[in-house]
Amino acid sequence: MAHVLDADLRRALADRLRFYNELGIYDFYRHDPLVAASAAKAMVAPEHDTDSAALQPEMRDIMASRKSAAVAVVAEENIFEVLPPKPEQGISDPVAALKLIREDLGDCTRCKLHKQGRKQIVFGVGNPRAELMFVGEGPGADEDAQGEPFVGRAGQLLNNMIKAMGLRREDVYIANVVKCRPPGNRTPERDECETCSPFLMRQIAVIKPKVVVALGAVSAKNLLAINAPMSELRGRFYDFTPSGLRSADSSWQGAKLAVTYHPAFLLRDPRQKGEAWKDLQMVMKYLGLEPPKKAAE
């Protein structure tokens, strides 16, 4: 008897597949356990050649129902349809490519943050060819009002950090995991990050930085898909490529990613500034940056 998924489960599965499409993952392979079992059976020695299906009838029922469920999903949702390539793909000019991503984002209503008091979408700012990119968590009140990331007190501290590295704010690119202000500056929720971050990934693939600095645990966990405390995340480089995406430039194999404290946290606990400076010095060494003379004295 055909097993049909209930509507909620079907929608959830369709949403998940669309999310993978947003990440640039289009190819899905259905693992057919019956075929795999029969292949495995053909490979085992005769003395171990038992009829696994006969031994595990419950497993056979589960396999059959999963198979028919997958067929039902395909028929009703057409979820395996391959989405067209992203508009910026094949565009080598990062300015034009970022513009296309912004247009694709539009007046976004993809997650619930669009109806929780945001004034505007905060897309990102800075040098579209930056070697160094900073990624925070989400816009706060000042950023929401001005439409630019890191413009409040935390932004001023980030500016100082950038200056101490011998750079100007306009040399780097700054963005957030979510582009709309979470109400009351709460931490963005998992579904909001999952919905919004594919646009950040596309921005990173277009900018092709040498180093991405994740500001704070929320940013680090979303970029790296690692759930670990800051004490474990900091102090090393990670190899990073935007999930499921390839850059238009085949010479760009991804960035190094470093994790440091969010400037808002450093405002609350200035004793950690020395630790953050160690993280930035690691990045400077990799990029061959010298601190300006004044900061070095």
Footprint of ligand SF4 (CB under 6 A): 105, 108-111, 113-114, 121, 178-180, 192, 195-196
Give the span between the Cα atoms of 186 and 122, in whole angstroms.
16
Smallest distance from ligand SF4 to CB 119, Å: 12
Smallest distance from ligand SF4 to CB 138, Å: 8
Q: Which of 23, 94, 19 is nearest to 246 (CA)?
A: 23
Smallest distance from ligand SF4 to CB 137, Å: 11
User: Which tokens in the block code for residue 111?
Assistant: 């997650």
Smallest distance from ligand SF4 to CB 87, Å: 16
Who contacts 170 (Cβ-Cβ below 8 Å, separation ≥6)?
126, 127
Burial-class residue 31 by CB neighbours within 10 Å (0-12, 13-18, 19+).
exposed
Cβ closest to ligand SF4, residue 177 vs residue 283: 177
Cβ closest to ligand SF4, residue 4 vs residue 108: 108
Residue 133 three-state SS: strand
Cβ closest to ligand SF4, residue 144 vs residue 279: 144
Q: Are 24 and 246 in contact (CB under 8 A)?
A: yes
Who contacts 91 (Cβ-Cβ below 8 Å, separation ≥6)?
97, 100, 206, 248
Cβ closest to ligand SF4, residue 161 vs residue 193: 193
Cβ closest to ligand SF4, residue 148 vs residue 192: 192
Q: Which of 80, 159, 151 is nearest to 120 (CA)?
A: 151
Smallest distance from ligand SF4 to CB 99, Å: 16
Q: Which of 232, 289, 241, 291 is nearest to 259 (CA)?
A: 232
User: Which tokens in the block code for residue 144?
Assistant: 């929401």
Cβ-based neighbour number of residue 83 at 10 Å: 12
Count how many residues are written for the chain.
297
Cβ closest to ligand SF4, residue 165 vs residue 180: 180
Smallest distance from ligand SF4 to CB 48, Å: 52
